Structure 1
Amino acid sequence: MHLKQHAIMLASALAATFAAVGAAGAHPHVFAEARLDVILSPDHQSVKALRHLWRFDDLFSSTVMMEFDKNSDLKLDDKELKDVADTVHASLAEFNYFQLVTVDGKDVPMTPPPHLMANFDNDQLIILFESEPKEPIKLAGKIDFGVYDPTFYTAIDFTEDSNITVEGLPSNCTSKVIRPDPDEAIKENQKTLTEAFFNDPTGTDMSKIFATKLELNCPPEG
């Protein structure tokens, strides 16, 4: 079965690139290490953009290589890499590109990135893209940034706290990396999780409660 057919049939966009995968279970099948840079505006008063880099596991990367290496030369040329990027870009659209962005607990609308870049490094697939909020996010209150797959099919995480960063925060702001304890997250959200399942047993976005996040806190100055 070809990748584009998977993109239609499977809930998770990145699961689409597996050529011989069964139905998605409630645990990850694809793994990636992430880096996220939060880019501030020149005056350092708002968030201008998010810069993402995802490095995928060897198995997933080799599957992508086999699927897109149309001339069978064991490497992807510029056109083949563009095909990878375009397919992932289209497939991730309905999942907001796996982005978690909230202000005081409320989701922030993000503008879809105009394109993605794909590359291979040490036989691993690298995906890069930059996205912007539809309106600049003012540095006020509690702001969270992270990456998660609402279908649980893809595990994208930050192996080091230093891989999710922001530079140039104003003096009234603090930042910290939050790594939720799964058991505590389930306990604290038991009622919501149960209601979400019964309202939509095919899938919810509650997996965000398990996502590693960069939390900014910017109380008013004075």
Structure 2
Amino acid sequence: MRPTMQRSILTAIAAATVCTAGPAAAHPHVFAEARLDVVVDTNRTVTSLRHVWRFDDLFSSTVLVEFDKNGDLKLSPEELEEVSTVVYDSIGEFDYFQIVSVNGKPVAMKAPDRLMVNFEDNQLIILFESEPRDTLKLDGTVDFGVYDPTFYTAIDFVEDAYMTVEGLPSGCGRRVVRPDPDEAIAQNQTTLTEAFFNDPTGNDMSKLFATRLEISCPAQG
């Protein structure tokens, strides 16, 4: 692989994540559809997040060309493992683009053990499972999302049903929140810095635009 091409594909893969819409100045180059399943046990504890990302045909074709070392127009198990390693290493420094918070406070997640990568119907599919670093109880409002802070990739939850809760406790509710960018900026005007408006990419406040799954549970005594 030529060095320039390798840098190009690594940059694209590193940016792969979930978002809905961002400021007009940012333009996504990669598109994908996603699914997120939040798994909860009988003690109202979140045990894992299960992610599935299915990428667009153009980006998938680029990955195929770059990683198909033997030129057979297929990705062998070894080639898929190389894709997995590249993605894993590239997005690890960004916490695998996961956004989790409890009552507005961020929650740390463990790195997944590995990523599973498939190539089906000419589309690249990435699957992985992660766990909260510490015990995460459903108490109050807990939000889950996945977002690319660079706005390079637009990964969409096409339907609200693609964000699910397995084991939702009785008395708790779930809803999918799709923020309107203009409203998000207006509501957070006092906290957004000049740097954000000059260049929102890579800014932590960009998560304001992320589609998220919100689970609300009454506090336990």
When the two structures are superposed, what TM-score results if normalisation uses the length of structure 1?
0.87
- CA shift, 1:117, in A, is 0.7
Q: Return the alpha-carbon distance in structure 1 between the equivalents of residues 192 and 165 of structure 2.
A: 31
* Corresponding residue of 1:162: 161
* Corresponding residue of 1:99: 98
- Contact 1:172/1:220, CA 8 A, preserved across alignment: no
Q: Return the alpha-carbon distance in structure 1 between the equivalents of residues 200 and 165 of structure 2.
A: 36
Paired residue type of 1:197: F
SS of equivalent residue, structure 1 residue 113? coil
TM alignment of 1:6-25, pairs within 5 A: 7=10, 10=11, 13-14=14-15
SS of equivalent residue, structure 1 residue 133? coil
1:113-159 CA-partner distances (Å, limit 9, x unpaired): 11101111110000000000101210101100011001111111200
Q: Return the alpha-carbon distance in structure 1 between the equivalents of residues 197 and 159 of structure 2.
A: 36
Q: Return the alpha-carbon distance in structure 1 between the equivalents of residues 150 and 208 of structure 2.
A: 13
- Contact 1:144/1:213, CA 8 A, preserved across alignment: yes
Q: Return the alpha-carbon distance in structure 2 between the equivalents of residues 44 and 2 of structure 1.
A: 49
Assess, with a 3 A threshold, how the Cα gap between structure 1 residues 11 and 122 changes in structure 2: closer, same or farther.
closer
TM alignment of 1:16-55, pairs within 5 A: 26-41=26-41, 43-55=42-54
TM alignment of 1:163-202, pairs within 5 A: 163-197=162-196
Assess, with a 3 A threshold, how the Cα gap between structure 1 residues 120 and 184 changes in structure 2: closer, same or farther.
same
* Corresponding residue of 2:22: none
- CA shift, 1:188, in A, is 1.2
Bigger drift between 130-139 and 190-199 goes to: 190-199
1:52-100 CA-partner distances (Å, limit 9, x unpaired): 0000011100000000000000010000000001100000011111111
The runs of 5 or more residues in structure 1 that have no matched partner are: 16-24
* Corresponding residue of 1:3: 6
The runs of 5 or more residues in structure 2 that have no matched partner are: 17-24
- CA shift, 1:194, in A, is 2.7
Paired residue type of 1:3: Q
Give the RMSD, CA atoms, in angstroms: 2.2
* Corresponding residue of 2:151: 152
- CA shift, 1:3, in A, is 2.8
TM alignment of 1:35-114, pairs within 5 A: 35-41=35-41, 43-114=42-113
- Contact 1:151/1:205, CA 8 A, preserved across alignment: no
How many aligned positions are there? 210
SS of equivalent residue, structure 2 residue 145? strand
- Relative contact order: is structure 1 or structure 2 higher (C-alpha 8 Å, sep ≥ 6)? 2
* Corresponding residue of 2:135: 136
Identity of aligned residues (%): 64
